Structure 1
Amino acid sequence: MTTAREIMHTGARYIPVTETLDRAAQMMRDLEVGALPVADANDRMCGIITDRDIVVKAIAHGKDPARVTVGELCEGTPRWVPADADVRQVLEEMGTHRIRRLPVIDENKRLIGIISEADVAKHLSDTEIASFVERVYVTR
């Protein structure tokens, strides 16, 4: 059984909900990632901010990224999987909620990694990849 821990990208870091979008963009650049989990004051995940969120929801609307916080753009309920989750659970979570990045937490509910569609693709057959892509990307 392949687990989330085995396919995740390590080194994921939270960004505080009160941090500005320009700082989020700088962190993404420095970490070479396109998304950051967002943490509340209790260091618990309360959302995810993506590079696309910054561009489409803020910059394209003329908002100043130095004045808008990541918390202002986070929407919905954050999704995650435990580190010992089977890869099938990972696929189900990503497919059901049509998400491309999935945080992984340890037994203490702390962020330990993140799984992207590229991480998943490395561990699937061509048929499984096609099914995954259809569930996540194809509009219905």
Structure 2
Amino acid sequence: MGTVRDILQVKGHAVYSVHPDNTVFEALSVLVEKNVGALMVLNDNDEVVGIFSERDYARKVIVKGRASKDTRINEVMTENPFTVTEKDSIEDCMVKMTDKHIRHLPVTDERNRLLGMISIGDVVKHIIDEQRFIINNLEGYIKGTR
């Protein structure tokens, strides 16, 4: 089925992040500017300390009546996010995302360094592209053009 590495080769390794001391408003500005649904939260040593998503904003800021300009990311981020490696299969990612009810998975190496991030959209796109390739090959085989 493919691996996380396959997705990152197409998507790239760019990851957008904020510092734990940034305000929620600053993080929301990055989400809008970059058109993404989640940001990694990195400390001064570029170590992953959490993830901040649109879901965190909805559940921990808006519903609680907090002000985004007065609330720090470290107050509302999800700590210790679930991660995957480049070697993990797409199927494993789907299972993890479904079981944990999450939409974003940071990709780390064996030393826990951040290499990228994949979303449920990336996983679905990969599966659709893979199925399209298989269907085209099967059609070519049946028609005798391959």
Same-fold status (TM-score > 0.5)? yes
- 1:108 offset after TM fit, Å? 4.1
- 1:91 offset after TM fit, Å? 2.0
Choose which of 22, 28, 32 in structure 2 pairs with 1:29.
32
- 1:76 offset after TM fit, Å? 4.8
Q: Which residue of 1 aligns with 2:93?
A: 90
Check whether the contact 2:103–2:119 (CA below 8 A) recurs between aligned residues.
Answer: yes
Deviates more, 1:72-81 or 1:51-60: 51-60
Q: How many residues align?
A: 126
> Hey, what's the Cα distance between the residues in 1 that align with 2:114 and 2:33?
19
Largest Rg, 1 or 2: 2
Task: Give me the TM-score of the superposition, normalised by structure 1.
Answer: 0.76
For the aligned residue pairs, the C-alpha RMSD in angstroms reads: 2.2
Check whether the contact 1:5–1:104 (CA below 8 A) recurs between aligned residues.
Answer: no
Choose which of 53, 59, 62 in structure 1 pairs with 2:62.
59
> Unaligned 5+ residue runs, structure 2?
129-146
> Hey, what's the Cα distance between the residues in 1 that align with 2:37 and 2:125?
19
- Name the amino acid aligned to 2:27: A
1:99 paired to 2:109: no
> Hey, what's the Cα distance between the residues in 1 that align with 2:34 and 2:68?
19
Check whether the contact 2:22–2:73 (CA below 8 A) recurs between aligned residues.
Answer: yes
> Hey, what's the Cα distance between the residues in 1 that align with 2:100 and 2:44?
26
Choose which of 114, 118, 124 in structure 1 pairs with 2:121.
118
Runs of 4+ in 1 over 4 A off after TM superposition: none
Check whether the contact 1:15–1:39 (CA below 8 A) recurs between aligned residues.
Answer: yes
Of Structure 1 and Structure 2, which has the larger fraction of its residues in helix? 2
- 1:42 offset after TM fit, Å? 3.2
SS of the residue aligned with 2:126?
Answer: coil
Cα 1:42–1:99 change in 2 (3 A) is same
> Hey, what's the Cα distance between the residues in 1 that align with 2:57 and 2:6?
30
> Unaligned 5+ residue runs, structure 1?
126-140
